[in-house]
Amino acid sequence: MNFRILIVLFSVFFVSFANAVPIKHLYRAEIKLPVTDSEAQMLNEAFAQAVEQVLVRVSGDKAAITGDLLKQAQSEAPTWVAQHSVVALSQLLPVDGQLVAGKQVTVVFYAESIDRFLSQHNLPVWGEDRPSVLVWAVSEDRGVRQLSGANAPSDLLNNLATSAAMYGVPIYAPLIDSVDKSAISSADVWGFFEGSISKASKRYQTDAVAAIRVADYAGSLSGSLLVLLSDGSSQRFTLSGDSLSALTDQASAAMAKVFSTRYAAVRNNQAESRMTVQVSGINSYSALNTVQTYLERVGVVRDVSVVGAKDDVVLFSIAINGSKQKLINSISLNSVLQVTNPPPVTVLPPMSDTETSTPSVAVLPPMSDAEASAPPDGETSAVIAQPVVSTPEPAADEYFKYNGVQ
């Protein structure tokens, strides 16, 4: 059994804040194909498979990348290729029950081409910052249940790690040490007891938690998936298939769709909106640059500009794709900014009876006799006293505090 993928994915964050995981190579795919007489034919097949894989990973919506839309993308794919390479595989590929020589084609697409295609078809573009997901996995074989983790690897986790990587979903496994064993049991995970799962997951401080259960009854596989989000909501999915890899692919596709819906947005003018964000704790130009650069990197953000500053408070105007909640969800994945409450409103003391009876007016200096007797152009210009009105600072739509993270 090959657990090399799990060695990486079993790393667990122990940090003060849950952090997004930057997914590298979103627009790259590695395709393994049997050697053919025509390399051009092999490249066309590689480009077709690669563009499907990349479109699914960037959109997070496998169900949408099908039919005529997929055919159109595959026909245009060769013009989107930024670079590609071909190397011979050291191991033979299984094809139709036989082992044949193969090659690996690595394809990198222009991000602009992929993003534009998705936007033209009203599909979201999911950026590289993605939520870390702790996965509790339990399998049942002939009535015996096994809880999987770093200290108890399994085929279930191995397959899930492979498929999740294809979808760009960063998953992490629990240690299954003495602490975990005292906090949660295989029965808790099998029963999807959300309270027990959430409590046992707190030590790992990931952005989201998932639980997957798979049963094998006389060669017939079935399963279910539970996804717990940071806002306390949850979603459940039924899994089915004729192989373990098919079930874990469904699970990974379901997780990608959940998180894409929460964090990604369609990038077009129809989906654009603008909001004002106030950030406190910015006490230097370096801090201002850090915050503005960070905001520009958020996947749903189109444009950021500074519209005002006072003391350590900076007001930003931000153009976003999608809803305000998507921006908040995306910012919550990182520890750079923390949501805060609006500043308290200053309440003026009540006016005295004298002040109430005497309106506040702008006092003009008295005119001289000459000015009063000699109006310009023979007309008298009436001077109307205007109330003194203070202009309040513009209110922000959302308020954040900079935590000093570089």
> 67-83 pLDDT, tens per residue?
999 999 999 999 999 99
Do 153 and 3 contact (CB within 8 A), yes or no? Answer: yes
Do 136 and 210 contact (CB within 8 A), yes or no? Answer: yes
For 317, the token pair is: 């105007």
pLDDT band of 227, cuts 50, 70, 90: very high
pLDDT of residue 388: 42
Q: What are phi and psi of 282, to 5 degrees?
A: -95, 100
pLDDT in tens, 105-115: 999 999 999 99
Lowest mean per-residue pLDDT among 46-50, 163-167, 342-346, 355-359: 355-359
Instruction: Answer yes or no: is pLDDT of 218 > 90.
Output: no
| CA–CA dist 281, 405 (Å, integer) | 11
Average pLDDT over residues 371-391: 47
pLDDT of residue 2: 41
Average pLDDT over residues 126-145: 94
Instruction: Answer yes or no: is pLDDT of 373 > 70.
Output: no
Instruction: Answer yes or no: is pLDDT of 175 > 90.
Output: yes
Angstrom CA distances, 327 to 10, 23, 298, 302, 324, stand at: 29, 19, 8, 11, 5
pTM: 0.82
pLDDT of residue 359: 47
Average pLDDT over residues 92-108: 94
Angstrom CA distances, 378 to 230, 366, 368, 375, stand at: 75, 20, 17, 6
| CA–CA dist 55, 59 (Å, integer) | 6
Instruction: Answer yes or no: is pLDDT of 386 > 50.
Output: no
pLDDT band of 155, cuts 50, 70, 90: very high
Instruction: Answer yes or no: is pLDDT of 205 > 80.
Output: yes
| CA–CA dist 329, 252 (Å, integer) | 20
pLDDT of residue 14: 33
- Domains of the chain listed by start with CATH number: 4-20+127-266 (3.30.160.100), 28-125 (no CATH), 270-406 (3.30.70.60)
Chain Cα centroid distance, residue 185: 31
What is the distance in angstroms between the CA of the first residue and the CA of the last residue of the chain?
41
pLDDT in tens, 233-266: 999 999 999 999 999 999 999 999 999 999 999 9
Beta bridge partners, 240, equal: 222
Neighbour-count burial of 116, counting CB atoms closer than 10 A to its CB (0-12 exposed, 13-18 middle, 19+ buried): middle
Sequence-separated (6 or more) residues with CB below 8 Å from residue 341: 399
In the chain, the percentage of residues whose pLDDT exceeds 90 is 74
Do 214 and 247 contact (CB within 8 A), yes or no? Answer: yes
pLDDT band of 393, cuts 50, 70, 90: low
| CA–CA dist 162, 306 (Å, integer) | 43
| CA–CA dist 108, 110 (Å, integer) | 7
pLDDT of residue 7: 36
